[in-house]
Amino acid sequence: MDSIDLEVLKTSAAWIASGRRCELITVIKTWGSSPRPVGATLAICEDGTVIGSVSGGCIEDDLIARVRDEGISRSLPEIVSYGITADEAHRFGLPCGGTIELSIEPLSERSRVAELLDRLERHELVQRRLDLHTGDVELSQAAPGAQMQVSERAMVTLHGPRWRLLIIGAGQLSRFLAQIATAMDYHVIVCDPREEYRAGWQVDGVQLVHDMPDDIVLSMKLDHRSAVVALTHDPKLDDLALMEALKSDAFYVGAIGSRLNNSKRRERLLEFDLTPEQLARLHGPIGLYIGSKTPSEIAISILAELTAIKNGVPTAMLIPHAASPAAPGDTVCAVDSGAV
C-alpha cells in the first residue's frame, strides 16, 4: 500500500485510541479523470483535521466544511458521489463530467484498525471486509494479486506490501536499493548464497535468504506485483534466476551490467528454454539514464525505471540505460563506469 495510506491508518488508530470521533473515506470508483486512484484513503477527525487525500483538495474542503458545520454523526458506512453533473464537476475541480464515488466509514474500536496495523507490521497482506449495512469488519489473509472489490453489501480493501521485490546479491548497491524500496512499501527479499556477502548484511525490515536464487524465484510464485533485480555480476547466480523470472508474471525483471555484459547474458539465456519474447522482457543495462555513477544514484535509477514500468509509463517516454549515449569504457562493471 502507499505510504500515505499507511499514515492514514496510523493517524486513525491514534484518534480512536484517544476517544475522538473520526471517519475513513475511501475512493471506490471513478469515471473520467481522477487525481487519486481507486483505493486511496483519507481520514477526517471531528475537529476537521485530515490526513491523506481523495482528490486534488477541493473534495477534501467540502468534507472538512461538512464536519465543521454538522460534526460526525454517522453510525454506519455511507456511499457518496461527487461530480455527477457538469456544475458539480466544476465546483469540485473534477474534469467536466467526471465522477468520484467514496465510502465514508465512521471509525471506532470495532473497525479493527489497530489490529490491522499490527498485522501490517508483520508484513502481512491483509484483506479487510467492511459490511456496508452493519459496519462490521473482518480481517483475513489476502492472496497475492487480489484486488479491491465493492458490492451492494460489502467493500473489500487490501492492505500491506502488495508489491514484492527480490534482489539477487547482498552487496553495497543492494543495500541502497533495499532501503529505498522498503521506504516505498515494497516487501523486499535479498537472496545471496555467498556467506561472505551475507555476513555483513544489516538492513531493517528486509528479509535475507541464502538459498540459490533460482530456487527462491520458483518458491515465491512471482505474480504481476513482483519484480526481480539481479545485482551479482555472477552468471552462476543470476542467469538461472533470470530465466525463471522471465517465464513468470513478474512485471519487471532486470540485471546489472554493461552493454557488452548484457549482450553476452542474452546470448546465454537464449541457450536455455526461453523464447525471444520472454527474453525481450529483460531490462539491461538496468535503470533509467540519469547519469548515475555512485551506488546510491544507481539505486535511484533502477527504482525509477521499475516505478515507471509499474505505473504503465509508455516505453517511448523512457530513456533507459540501454538507450543512453555510450560511455567510454562501457565494458566494465556498473559501479565503475556508471553504466548499469
> Residue 223 — pLDDT band, cuts 50, 70, 90?
confident
Residue 128 lies in a domain: no
| Residue 34 pLDDT | 59
Q: What is the pLDDT of residues 45-84, one digit of tens each?
A: 999 999 998 886 678 888 999 999 999 999 999 999 887 5
Q: What is the DSSP letter of 80?
A: E
pLDDT of residue 331 exceeding 80, the answer is no
Q: What is the DSSP letter of 134?
A: T
**Amino acid symbol at 332:** V
Residue range(s) defining the domain that contains residue 280: 163-337
Do residue 209 and residue 110 come from a single domain?
Answer: no
User: Into how many domains does the chain fold?
Assistant: 2
Do residue 180 and residue 298 come from a single domain?
Answer: yes
Do residue 111 and residue 169 come from a single domain?
Answer: no
C-alpha cell at 83: 461530480
| Residue 35 pLDDT | 63
Do residue 84 and residue 175 come from a single domain?
Answer: no
Rounded to two decimals, the pTM is: 0.66
Do residue 198 and residue 313 come from a single domain?
Answer: yes
Q: What is the pLDDT of residues 108-148, one digit of tens each?
A: 999 999 999 999 888 788 999 999 999 999 999 998 778 89
Residue 176 lies in a domain: yes
pLDDT of residue 88 exceeding 70, the answer is no
Do residue 177 and residue 272 come from a single domain?
Answer: yes
165 backbone dihedrals φ, ψ, rounded to 5°? -130, 120
* Matching residue, cell 490526513: 51
Residue 134 lies in a domain: no
pLDDT of residue 244 exceeding 60, the answer is yes
| Residue 146 pLDDT | 83
pLDDT of residue 340 exceeding 60, the answer is no
* Angstrom distance (rounded) from CA 335 to CA 302: 13
> Residue 332 — pLDDT band, cuts 50, 70, 90?
very low
C-alpha cell at 165: 521485490
- CA atoms in the 13 A half-sphere facing the CB of 61: 6
* Range among 189-203, 212-226, 324-338 with highest mean pLDDT value: 212-226
* Angstrom distance (rounded) from CA 105 to CA 130: 9
Which of 270-279, 281-290, 303-312, 331-340 is predicted with the least confidence, judged by mean pLDDT?
331-340
Do residue 176 and residue 314 come from a single domain?
Answer: yes
Residue 225 lies in a domain: yes
Q: Treating both helix axes as pointing N-terminal to C-terminal, what angle do 172-183 and 295-310 enclose, rounded to 10 degrees?
A: 40
User: Domain end: 81, 115, 149, which one?
Assistant: 115
- Percentage of the chain surpassing pLDDT 90? 63
Residue 81 lies in a domain: yes
Do residue 180 and residue 288 come from a single domain?
Answer: yes
| Residue 338 pLDDT | 40
pLDDT of residue 95 exceeding 80, the answer is no
Strands (E), 9-114: 22-31, 41-45, 50-52, 78-82, 99-107
Strands (E), the chain: 22-31, 41-45, 50-52, 78-82, 99-107, 126-131, 137-141, 149-150, 154-159, 163-168, 186-191, 207-209, 226-230, 252-255, 282-283
Do residue 202 and residue 317 come from a single domain?
Answer: yes
C-alpha cell at 211: 538459498
Instruction: Give the 3-state secondary structure of residue 208.
Output: strand
> Residue 37 — pLDDT band, cuts 50, 70, 90?
confident
User: Domain end: 115, 139, 171, which one?
Assistant: 115
pLDDT of residue 96 exceeding 90, the answer is no
For residues 146 and 139, the answer to whether their CB atoms sit within 8 Å is no
Average pLDDT, the chain: 87
pLDDT of residue 249 exceeding 50, the answer is yes
Q: 209: domain CATH number?
A: 3.40.50.720
Do residue 110 and residue 170 come from a single domain?
Answer: no
**Amino acid symbol at 271:** E
57: left (phi over 0), alpha (psi -120 to 50) or beta: left
**What number is the average pLDDT over the span 149-163?**
90
* Angstrom distance (rounded) from CA 240 to CA 266: 12
Residue 25 lies in a domain: yes
Between strands 282-283 and 252-255, the pairing is: parallel
Do residue 28 and residue 84 come from a single domain?
Answer: yes
Cα torsion at 49, 55, 56, 62 (round to 10°)? -50
Do residue 96 and residue 183 come from a single domain?
Answer: no
> Residue 333 — pLDDT band, cuts 50, 70, 90?
very low
Residue 246 lies in a domain: yes
* Angstrom distance (rounded) from CA 173 to CA 297: 9
For residues 230 and 258, the answer to whether their CB atoms sit within 8 Å is no
Strands (E), 83-162: 99-107, 126-131, 137-141, 149-150, 154-159
Q: Which residues contact 48 (CB under 8 A, 6 or more apart)?
A: 64, 67, 68
Residue 318 lies in a domain: yes
| Residue 197 pLDDT | 84
Q: How far is CA 241 from CA 74, 174, 185, in A?
A: 53, 16, 24
